[in-house]
Amino acid sequence: MKKVLIIEDENKISRFLQLELEHEGYAPETAEEGRKGYTMAQAGKYDIIILDLMLPNLSGIEICRRLRAEGINTPIIMLTAKDDVSDKVTGLDVGANDYMTKPFAIEELLARMRVALKNSDKVASSPVVKAGRLTLDRDKYEVRFDDTLITLTKKEFELLSYLMINKNIVLSREQIVESVWGYEYEAETNVTDVYIRYLRSKIDEVYGTNYIRTVRGVGYQFRDEE
Ligand code: CA
């Protein structure tokens, strides 16, 4: 069952969406204000997020911008109250997948949700990730620079995979540790620094590239331009 997070402060709309989505076989959860919605979305356990633009405490735009900056790629459909082009453009600029103007027909929202979910399934299930001149095959556990095979340990591979999937996004040490090593390692974020060093010595130092960047005070970023 697909989990949907509805972040919407208008009780009537939120309740309506919840009932309709349950009826369609989704598992919806709701947040009635921005900060709570953001915290729930950060957990990353939702398949899709329906996000209202105007919210108390934290706006839809800000939630979307923050989630994307943190490497959370859950599809987001934004709801805008007014038919304002600049809101739509801003929503898409900060990484929303789609938007709908209120009032909307539920059938149209359901159709757009299906499209967004299908696209995200495609990304998640594709075993091959390409960035720069690197190709990583998650089925075969293989990484190549052009055609040359690079030998990595399992953790090095998983770290590189996480960085490449989230290429051009700045990732904090905490995020990296949580995704690659799991929650129990959270206190030891310097494990990231050690493994980043291993990856650089096997990739950037060998091929003269500069893919793995340090972002001072934050963490790391995979940049696919050389
Ligand atoms: Ca609102």
Supply the pLDDT for residue 187.
Answer: 64
**Ligand 1 centroid from CA 86, angstroms:** 17
pLDDT at 125 over 70: no
Asked if residue 203 lies in contact with residue 145, where contact means CB atoms within 8 angstroms, the answer is: yes
Could you tell me where in the chain the CATH 1.10.10.10 domains are found?
127-222
**Ligand 1 centroid from CA 54, angstroms:** 4
Which residues lie closer than 8 Å to 199 by C-beta, 6 or more apart? 152, 156, 159, 160, 212
**Ligand 1 centroid from CA 6, angstroms:** 12
**Ligand 1 centroid from CA 156, angstroms:** 44
Could you tell me where in the chain the CATH 3.40.50.2300 domains are found?
3-123
Topology of domain 127-222, CATH? Arc Repressor Mutant, subunit A (1.10.10)
Tell me the chain's radius of gyration from C-alpha atoms. Answer: 19
Q: Which CATH superfamily is domain 3-123 in?
A: Response regulator (3.40.50.2300)
**Ligand 1 centroid from CA 81, angstroms:** 7
In the predicted model, what is the mean pLDDT of residues 80-99? 74
Q: What is the pLDDT of residues 75-89, one digit of tens each?
A: 999 998 766 666 666
**Is the omega angle on the peptide bond into residue 103 within 30 degrees of 0, that is, cis?**
yes
Q: Alpha carbon of 120 to those of 5, 69, 126, 152, 193: distances in Å?
A: 16, 18, 10, 28, 30
* Phi and psi angles of residue 135, each rounded to the nearest 5 degrees, phi first: -130, 125
Q: What is the Cα–Cα distance from 226 to 218, expressed in whole angstroms?
A: 21
Residues with CB under 5 A from ligand 1 (ion): 9, 52, 54
**Ligand 1 centroid from CA 206, angstroms:** 52
Q: What is the pLDDT of residues 21-78, one digit of tens each?
A: 999 999 999 999 999 999 999 887 899 999 999 999 999 999 998 888 777 889 999 9
Question: Structure pTM?
Answer: 0.58
**Ligand 1 centroid from CA 84, angstroms:** 14
Supply the pLDDT for residue 138.
Answer: 81
Supply the pLDDT for residue 176.
Answer: 87
